[in-house]
């Protein structure tokens, strides 16, 4: 009779599950992926691919804009303007630069008339500017669907 008083009469609480390092790693990874997916959905909802980050540096009409590539890093805006102004009046010229204000080697030139842009496109591809043959093309980023 004294032995039955020593033992507990109620059932013990259920044991908690032990989390192995592998299980913890999987749980943390799943939580991180879920948080990143939610963040991406919020950012994607606000993002407009046609809205520029710096509106003052974007040409207004893509159909009047030329893309000039393979420019020498020494080429200045003045030199480029002189070379391309012979085809017609230029509305805006932008030499693309990185964050440190160093040239990237390409530019966008917006003409006032589309005919002038076409003439410059036809006659200036392969022209030498500052000792380098440049590539001239129409702007395709905003004019051609699914162009990357």
76/137 Cα distance (integer angstroms): 19
Question: Structure pTM?
Answer: 0.63
Q: What is the pLDDT of residue 50?
A: 64
Residues with Cβ within 8 Å of residue 89, at least 6 apart in sequence:
111, 112, 113, 116
For the chain, residues with pLDDT lower than 70 are: 1-2, 4, 49-58, 148
Per-residue pLDDT tens for 84-110?
A: 999 999 999 999 998 898 999 999 999
Residues with Cβ within 8 Å of residue 63, at least 6 apart in sequence:
114, 117, 143
Q: What is the pLDDT of residue 143?
A: 81
> Quick one: DSSP state of residue 111?
E
């Amino acid at each position: 009779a004294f032995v039955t008083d020593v033992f507990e009469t109620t059932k013990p609480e259920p044991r908690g599950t032990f989390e192995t390092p592998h299980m913890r790693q999987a749980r943390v990874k799943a939580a991180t992926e879920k948080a990143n997916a939610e963040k991406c959905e919020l950012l994607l909802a606000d993002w407009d691919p046609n809205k520029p980050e710096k509106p003052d540096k974007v040409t207004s009409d893509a159909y009047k804009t030329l893309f000039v590539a393979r420019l020498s890093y020494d080429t200045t805006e003045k030199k480029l303007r002189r070379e391309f102004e012979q085809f017609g009046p230029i509305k805006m010229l932008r030499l693309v630069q990185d964050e440190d204000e160093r040239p990237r080697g390409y530019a966008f030139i917006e003409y006032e008339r589309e005919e002038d842009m076409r003439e410059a496109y036809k006659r200036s591809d392969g022209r030498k500017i500052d000792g380098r043959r440049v590539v001239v093309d129409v702007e395709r980023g905003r004019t051609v669907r699914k162009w990357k």
